[in-house]
Chain A
Amino acid sequence: MGRFHAHPDGTWQTHEHEHGEHGEHGDGEHEQGDHGHEARDVGDHTGYETGRERVAVLETILAENDRTAERNRADFASAGVTTVNLMSSPGAGKTTLLKRTITTLGETLRIGVLEGDIATSLDADQLEGLGAPVSLVNTSAGFGGECHLDATMVRSGLTRLPLDELDLLVIENVGNLVCPAEFDVGQHVRAMVFSVTEGEEKPLKYPVMFHAVDVVVVNKIDLLPHLDFDVEALQANIRAVNPTARTIHLSATTGEGVDEWCDWLIETQKTH
């Protein structure tokens, strides 16, 4: 079988040929193990007049997303804008860091923001009036909101931004340490904000995110005196999953260390 049968109440029993099968493997028994090879066919088709043919596809599941990401990247190149995909868990301080960044770099770089949120314009509202154009993309269309921005969502948000008038575009992704790491949106660099209230072990728990980024911003260092947080252990865990990542320690609230982050943005903007 190898199929998911969520059928205590029959909710997901949708296939006629499965009804007779359920008795064979017991109710609710899921046999999908670590090896998909073990999955068994759903039925005997040898008596059918039509046969089956196996067709090799070998196509990346996210091929369509990646093609759109390339189109975004080409648009960024022709507009001469450097793009940062900024990710984090909810509440790590992306928006506060962005406000601080726009305030600090407003005279140096023309910054735009593409703001991704499952719902509400609360984050985008916070950035109003700082002089940077903001395009809000709510991801709530569909099944209660996507947990990430994909290349198509970003592309639709780009139509509301004056790309030609920007030096730097920051894409503030949906707060989530899992899904955004899987989707290329056409960015030049990826950065993540990690706050010291989250715990030193997070790089090991969310390795794909920590592995995917060029920079880890370690935020809320002003809270360190109040926390039992091991900065050295965090550094070791980041190195374990991403030996080449740069880390920048700062407090978006007090401004301590923000210059190093801004210097990195300026350098990145020059080199991309």
Chain B
Amino acid sequence: MHELALCGAIADTVNRHAEGQRVQRVEVRIGHFRQVVPDSLLFSWELLTDGTPLEGCELVIDHVPAVIRCTACEHETTLDMPIMLCAACESSDVTIVSGEEFLVSSIERTKEVC
């Protein structure tokens, strides 16, 4: 539901790093703990960039799985469901290893060739 707002934040970040060049491609890294609907994000991106210097810029989503580590037995569990339990010993004393990512990881921009 908030994908449009997120796209606004992505566009701001991209524009800060564009250095006046045309940006053709943006890669974002989004963890599974985040509530982002990929199609909504791509749709919002097109809507938001339409008529701006970022029009036509491709948005690519790199998904990061949700992984937790057990404090007791150090087992790492990749989650299909957001149940914060160690798959090995069922302890709930766990920390999140990955899946909360929410980054603009890179951009590809035009490079003038002399």
Give A contacts to B, CB under 8 Å.
Answer: 2-4, 6, 12, 14-15, 17, 30, 32, 34-37, 39, 41-42, 45, 49-65, 143, 146-148, 150, 176, 178-179, 181-183, 204, 207-208, 211, 239-243
Q: Given the complex of chains A and B, what is the CA–CA distance between A100 and B21 in angstroms? A: 56
Find the residue from A32, A147, A176, A204 having the highest chain B CB count within 10 A. A32
| Contact of B2 with A146 in the complex, beta carbons under 8 Å | yes
Q: How far is the CA of A225 from the CA of B77 in the complex (A)?
A: 40
B10-27 with Cβ < 8 A to chain A: 10, 12-14, 17, 24-25, 27
Query: In this complex, what residue of A is CB-closest to B55?
Result: A14
Contacts of B111 in A (CB 8 A): 50-53
- Also in contact, A57 and B62, with CB within 8 A (given A14-B46, A179-B1, A182-B35): no
- With a cutoff of 8 Å between Cβ atoms, the chain A residues found around residue B58 in the complex are 2-3, 39, 41-42
Q: How many residue-residue contacts, CB under 8 A, span A and B?
A: 159
- Contact across chains for A240 and B103 when beta carbons are under 8 A apart: no
**A70-B17 Cα distance, complex, nearest whole Å:** 23
Contact across chains for B35 and A178 when beta carbons are under 8 A apart: yes
User: Is the Cβ of A32 less than 8 Å from the Cβ of B5?
Assistant: no
Within 8 A of A (CB), among B26-78: 27-28, 33-35, 38-39, 42-43, 45-47, 50, 55-56, 58-63
CA distance A63 to B47 in the complex (A): 22
User: A59-B103, A143-B4 known; A53 and B85 CB under 8 Å?
Assistant: no
Interface pair A59/B104, CB less than 8 Å apart = yes
Q: Are A178 and B2 in contact (CB under 8 A)?
A: yes
Give the shortest distance, in Å, between A18 (CB) and chain B (any CB).
8
Interface contact B102-A240, CB-CB below 8 Å: no
The answer to whether A50 and B112 have CB atoms under 8 Å apart is yes
CB contacts under 8 Å to A, within B80-114, are 81-85, 92-94, 102-113
In the bound assembly, the distance between CA atoms of A6 and B85 in angstroms comes to 40
A183 and B106 CA atoms in complex are apart in Å by 23
Q: Which residues of B contact A62 (CB under 8 A)?
A: 6, 9, 102
* Chain A: CB-nearest residue to B48: A143
Which residues from chain A contact B5 at a C-beta distance below 8 Å?
A: 146, 148, 150, 179
Q: A12-B46, A36-B62 given as contacts; is B85 within 8 A of A240 (CB)?
A: yes
Distance from B112 Cβ to chain A, minimum over Cβ atoms (Å): 6
Known: A178-B2, A178-B35. A60 touches B103 (CB 8 A): yes
Q: Let me know if B110 and A50 touch, CB within 8 A.
A: yes
Contact A53 to B109, CB < 8 A, known contacts A2-B60, A182-B2: yes
